[in-house]
Amino acid sequence: MLIEYTSTSLTEIADKILPLIKNHYDEISIFKDYGYEFDPLIESYHASSQSEFFKVYTAKFEDELLGYVFFCIYPNHPHCRKIKMAMMDMIYLDPKYRGKGIGKSLLECAHKDLKTHGVNMVIAAMSKKYDFSEMLNSMDYKLMDYLFIKEI
């Protein structure tokens, strides 16, 4: 199976990505635990994807979208001007393709492209509902912080 890993525009794959985003939400979103239904503001993602500070990477086989990762780029770190950081906003891989190295290859594709944009540090947040820390550790990610959420 020859999988294509690419940087793309969200607009180019809008019809294929929305069902995966819905599956992603259903599988791991903490927001549904607070009673928030899936109601994406897709226009916001479209607008963001037009920016040089929002990157979308996909894994595809032929015409099938297997997964995606979104990164937000922060060009000016407030504490160290030599750091240009990208934060993983979302990563999702169809469950039937997990455990085959596709997610790792997708992140490697993203890292390679992000470097061409001057990014020298990436941050990955992970839902407690789906732990992929083993993959991140194998890619030399280091545990840095914990993330908490509270509804107010």
What's the pLDDT tens digit per position in 89-136? 899 999 999 999 999 999 999 999 999 999 999 999 888 888 888 999
Q: Evaluate if residue 32 carries a pLDDT over 90.
A: no
Q: Please report which confidence band the pLDDT of residue 41 belongs to, taking 50, 70 and 90 as the band edges.
A: confident
Across 71-84, average pLDDT: 90
Q: Evaluate if residue 49 carries a pLDDT over 80.
A: no
* Amino acid present at 69: V
Q: Which two tokens stand for residue 18?
A: 């929305």
Across 13-21, average pLDDT: 88
Q: Which two tokens stand for residue 53?
A: 């500070």
What's the pLDDT tens digit per position in 135-144? 999 999 999 8
Q: For the residues of 100-137, what is the DSSP string, one character each?
A: SSHHHHHHHHHHHHHHHTT--EEEE---TTS--HHHHH
φ, ψ for residue 83 (rounded to 5)? -95, 125
Across 39-46, average pLDDT: 82
Q: Which two tokens stand for residue 140?
A: 């030399």
φ, ψ for residue 137 (rounded to 5)? -60, -40
φ, ψ for residue 93 (rounded to 5)? -135, 130
Q: How far is it, in rounded angstroms, from Cα 89 to Cα 87?
A: 6
φ, ψ for residue 129 (rounded to 5)? -80, -15
Q: Which domains does the chain possess?
A: 4-138 (3.40.630.30)
φ, ψ for residue 56 (rounded to 5)? -120, 130
